[in-house]
Amino acid sequence: MAEIKSTLDIIMEKAKKFSVTEEERQGFKRQELEGKIKGLVQKTLDGVMGSEKLQVELAALQTKEKDLVDQILKEEVVARLEVGANSEALLKILENAAGPASPAVRKVFADFERKAEEEKEIRRKALVENFKKKGISGSAVLPNLDADPEWHRARSEVTRQLKDEIKEHLRLS
């Protein structure tokens, strides 16, 4: 008579056939660390966690995989940087992670902020000129740059360039 197998026995037999490669294991580890680091950064930005607590949490993660944690942290912070936005908290986190490269990163960010302001002023003047051509003028005319697709495109391009240059200074791929 044939033996009737339980569902658990069947699952265990099938599970024996599967094995996780080292590459997959590293991928799982990276994915887990990315989730933890994203959460820590978000809590810090939201004001739920102070920068001291962030450093303690990061130090705990770094005990096992220092290089990987540092790389993921830098990637996460750089991905969140935006020109024209208040990025001071992100820059402080990045300074702690970047070490010797932090002054260069600050300088790059300041340069791109200046460049973004110049682009913003050029675009604002162009919009005012467009209004004048339509017969709309005066001191109360203030163009809404947030509604201008050309400004969004220019800001996105400056932000992309900023991230690329910071990645270069941090030697991120």
Please calculate the CA angle 106-92-43 and round it to the nearest 5 degrees.
Answer: 140
pLDDT digits (tens, 9 = 90+) for 89-139: 998 998 888 888 888 888 999 999 999 999 999 999 999 999 999 998 888
Side chain identity at 154, as an amino acid letter?
Answer: A
pLDDT digits (tens, 9 = 90+) for 37-74: 999 999 999 999 998 999 999 999 989 888 899 999 99
Question: Long-range CB contacts (< 8 A, 24+ apart) of 53-56?
Answer: 54/93, 55/96
Q: 19: which 2 tokens? A: 């094995």
pLDDT digits (tens, 9 = 90+) for 126-148: 999 999 999 988 888 889 998 99
Side chain identity at 131, as an amino acid letter?
Answer: F
Q: What are the residue boundaries of the structural domains of the chain, listed by start?
A: 23-80, 100-173
